Structure 1
Amino acid sequence: MATAATAQATRPTPEGTYWYWRDQAIHHVVAGESRDDRPPLLLVHGFGASTDHWRKNIQGLQADFQVWAIDLLGFGRSAKPDWHYSGDLWQAQLHEFITEVIGRPVVLAGNSLGGYASLCVAANHPESAAGLVLLNSAGPFSTPAQTPPPPPNPIAKAIQSLMLQPLPSWLLFQYVRQPAIIRRTLRQVYLDKTAITDQLVEDIRRPALDPGAPRVFASVFKSRQGEKVDELLKKLSCPLLMLWGEGDPWMNCRDKGAQFRQHYPDLTEHYLQAGHCPHDEVPDQVNSLLRDWVLTNLTQ
């Protein structure tokens, strides 16, 4: 099995092209041949990432599937207009991309924010989703009715209020997009530090230099939470594969996995020795599990 140290040797992401959605340029890549007996894959990155984050998976899966990857509006090489960014916006983008460009149902595979957007599509637009793969997916569950809401944190509320102001938000963004800070953040969320290459740091930094990037960053503090995960799971009808990097410091994967099983018991799940981005940190394991699951459950 290849290790993360081989990341430098992987081929670059296939050359991309653009689709215009709501008059905005949306970057995407495709590799592999379309097959009648199995659905294509659509890979959806997390916050701050892009199609580049899937290069190891595109390379490893394109022999068996047609593999698409897309930059969500506001990220990667896609346009970054001064819009209100939300799960609803990215849900609409993905659904219309599947309908207009791919032209058939896909297996949506999403990491973090991309996982939540993919779940929204699969739940609300079942005609677009043959299957769903979630990798350390973001998104809140409902608070049980008998559980009183936690008291407001005055410090957190003050910070959020401050970040709603243009100048503090802009200054924070200038800080977090520095290469040293990007690398430090990656070291917090990757177990295998050899996976944190100069190329990975640059792949994350490059889109952050685009003129519209600070406004996208600021919109995080302004966006309301979308549909709760349990509400979406009530509507979900396609097969679901959960892949967890259980070394993720941003979420308790075992607890969150139990919540998914409670609301959608007919799922398949695997826990991997990786952090928040298992598809990039242990790509061979992720590719193998995803390939076998699709070929077992979704081929004609």
Structure 2
Amino acid sequence: MVSTRRKPGWDGHMRDPERVGELPTFTERWGGSGSVIDIDGPIHWVEYGDSDNESPPVVMVHGLGGSHLNWVRVAPILARHARVLTVDLPGFGLSAAGGRQAGIDANAKVLHRFLHDVVGAPVILMGNSMGGMISAFEAAANPGVISGLVLVNPALPVGQRLPDPQVALQFALQFIPFVGEGYLRFASRNLTDRQLVERMVDLCFADPSRASEEVLEVATDFSHYRRGLPSQDAAFLQASRSLMLALARPGRYQDAMRSIEKPVLLIHGDKDRLVPVAAARKVAAANERWDSVILSDVGHTPQLEVPDTMLDHVMTWVGKHGLMGA
């Protein structure tokens, strides 16, 4: 069941999340509670923990092709210390794109409105992959809404080091008009829901055997549910193409990262096939005020592959900067 709780905005006024149909609950077993708000269309999010907790709330932003499910192995544990919200960007998860744009800048604006309308207090922003880039742009443009930033294998300019050849081919196909659309349709028609999930695990994990069977089962059910919805391929391709363009002309992104004044933790797996670890090391060297951790034998989604290890580093970092209560 989707709740319709009221949250104060930055100006102290109350905002009414709009009920949008009856959405299924995929995170209930982990203690998550789903809600929907109208931000020029439905935005779905899942909340964990106590909204009265005095620590800064934590807002988690998924990557390309991801959703709120990407955080189920870390959000419930972190919710023992702070209110945690995991948001679905337009066209992903349970947030239908409708007529909205799904590029990087458009999603950064949606994220800012979500922080304003739903959270209403400075947050620790945590983003993975594309969500890391979007979170970095938000932290740079609106420092008053951020207490700290955690970048988990963020999308980064790769410089001279190319990504995995298979990954490069997939992104190249997605970038070409009509070819990208056909590529996604082919995959959807020819793979089962479980195969779609396992293909993503193989791509994002250094060791697929670390995947939680419970999460795999729920992700398979989630894939089956989304297959019955109107296609979101257009939003996915728009986001993918926008991401590639931002990385091809990285100056604005690099300037944004350098301008962030709040504490930043960069976490990156050294076996990431999508964003080479060399790119993370280069960004860490260019931003010496940041804290950075390179995880050995870990892929693109540490929050799913090695959640306990990732959380240990996050809690050490929040303790160092006094960002969270006990």
TM-score > 0.5, shorter chain as reference: yes
Task: Provide the residue aligned with 1:147 in structure 2.
Answer: none
Distance 1:25 1:51 in 2: 14
The counterpart of 1:280, out of the listed 278, 301, 304, is 304
> In structure 2, do the counterparts of structure 1 residues 171 and 234 end up closer, same or farther at CA, with 3 Å as the change threshold?
same
Give the letter for the 1:216 counterpart. Answer: A
Q: Could you give the per-residue CA deviations for residues 191-237 of structure 1, whole angstroms, max 9, x where no partner exists?
A: 24241533254166246422132222332465372373312113211
SS of the aligned residue for 1:19 comes to strand
Q: Are the aligned partners of 1:208 and 1:214 in contact in 2 as well (CA < 8 Å)?
A: no
Q: Could you give the per-residue CA deviations for residues 139-186 of structure 1, whole angstroms, max 9, x where no partner exists?
A: 43789xxxxxxxxx9xx9787435367556534554467532431331
Matched ranges for 1:72-83 at <5 A: 72-83=89-100
Matched ranges for 1:29-178 at <5 A: 29-34=46-51, 38-140=55-157, 160-163=175-178, 167=182, 170-175=185-190, 178=193
Shift of 1:20: 0.8
Matched, 1:265 2:285: no
The counterpart of 2:315, out of the listed 287, 291, 294, is 291
Distance 1:16 1:48 in 2: 19
Give the letter for the 2:36 counterpart. Answer: Y
Matched, 1:219 2:242: no
Distance 2:192 2:147 in 1: 36
Matched, 1:14 2:32: yes
Aligned residues: 280
SS of the aligned residue for 2:125 comes to strand
> In structure 2, do the counterparts of structure 1 residues 19 and 220 end up closer, same or farther at CA, with 3 Å as the change threshold?
closer
SS of the aligned residue for 2:323 comes to coil
Is the deviation greater in 285-294 or in 177-186? Answer: 177-186
> In structure 2, do the counterparts of structure 1 residues 248 and 34 end up closer, same or farther at CA, with 3 Å as the change threshold?
same
Matched, 1:180 2:204: no
Q: Structure 2, unaligned stretches of length 5 or more?
A: 1-27, 161-167
Q: Are the aligned partners of 1:16 and 1:27 in contact in 2 as well (CA < 8 Å)?
A: yes
Distance 1:281 1:221 in 2: 23
Is the deviation greater in 234-243 or in 29-38? Answer: 29-38
Q: Are the aligned partners of 1:52 and 1:203 in contact in 2 as well (CA < 8 Å)?
A: no
Distance 2:241 2:255 in 1: 22
Distance 1:240 1:94 in 2: 18
SS of the aligned residue for 1:56 comes to coil
TM-score where L is the length of structure 1: 0.82
Shift of 1:286: 1.3
Shift of 1:79: 1.7
The counterpart of 1:244, out of the listed 260, 263, 268, is 268
Distance 2:173 2:52 in 1: 53
Distance 2:37 2:301 in 1: 27
Give the letter for the 1:230 counterpart. Answer: Q
SS of the aligned residue for 1:43 comes to strand
Q: Structure 1, unaligned stretches of length 5 or more?
A: 1-9, 144-152
Q: Are the aligned partners of 1:14 and 1:31 in contact in 2 as well (CA < 8 Å)?
A: yes
TM-score where L is the length of structure 2: 0.76
Percent of aligned pairs with the same amino acid: 25
Q: Could you give the per-residue CA deviations for residues 250-271 of structure 1, whole angstroms, max 9, x where no partner exists?
A: 2221x11222123311111112
Q: Are the aligned partners of 2:174 and 2:183 in contact in 1 as well (CA < 8 Å)?
A: no
Q: Could you give the per-residue CA deviations for residues 5-24 of structure 1, whole angstroms, max 9, x where no partner exists?
A: xxxxx9435120111101x1
Distance 2:111 2:284 in 1: 25
Is the deviation greater in 265-274 or in 181-190? Answer: 181-190
Q: Are the aligned partners of 2:272 and 2:299 in contact in 1 as well (CA < 8 Å)?
A: yes
> In structure 2, do the counterparts of structure 1 residues 162 and 174 end up closer, same or farther at CA, with 3 Å as the change threshold?
farther
Q: Are the aligned partners of 1:80 and 1:216 in contact in 2 as well (CA < 8 Å)?
A: yes
Distance 1:200 1:139 in 2: 30
Distance 2:173 2:320 in 1: 50
Distance 1:175 1:206 in 2: 14
Q: Are the aligned partners of 1:42 and 1:106 in contact in 2 as well (CA < 8 Å)?
A: yes
Is the deviation greater in 275-284 or in 206-215? Answer: 206-215
